[in-house]
């Protein structure tokens, strides 16, 4: 959730189709707003680097995957 706007990642229109955009939208807890952090590395039991405020490891590479059936991914470049 964006703490300044209170908006969350949302698969636009709730449509799980190729090239569907990921947007920021008001939270409504729909299936198109459920995401999972997937870590790229193999350290499944790492204990250092967890940022409790945000709920993920800041020092490990990851991507965010939609929990809709096609597993849409959110990608952020140069950030």
| Residue pLDDT, tens place only, 2-40 | 888 989 988 888 888 877 888 899 999 998 999 888 888
DSSP state of 49: S
pLDDT of residue 51: 81
Global pTM reads 0.66
Q: Would you put residue 17 in left (φ > 0), alpha (ψ -120 to 50) or beta? A: beta
Q: What stretches of 1-79 adopt beta strand conformation (E)?
A: 7-11, 22-26, 35-39, 50-51, 56-57, 62-66, 73-74
Length of the chain: 79
Return the domain boundaries, the chain. Answer: 7-74
pLDDT of residue 79: 46
| Residue pLDDT, tens place only, 31-72 | 899 988 888 876 666 667 788 877 778 777 777 888 877 766
């Amino acid at each position: 959730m964006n703490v300044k706007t209170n908006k969350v990642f949302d698969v636009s229109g709730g449509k799980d189709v190729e090239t569907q955009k990921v947007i920021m939208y008001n939270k409504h807890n729909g299936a198109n707003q459920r995401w999972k952090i997937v870590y790229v590395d193999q350290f499944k039991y790492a204990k250092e680097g967890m940022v409790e405020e945000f709920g993920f490891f800041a020092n490990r590479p990851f991507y965010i995957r939609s929990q809709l059936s096609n597993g849409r991914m959110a990608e952020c470049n140069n950030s």
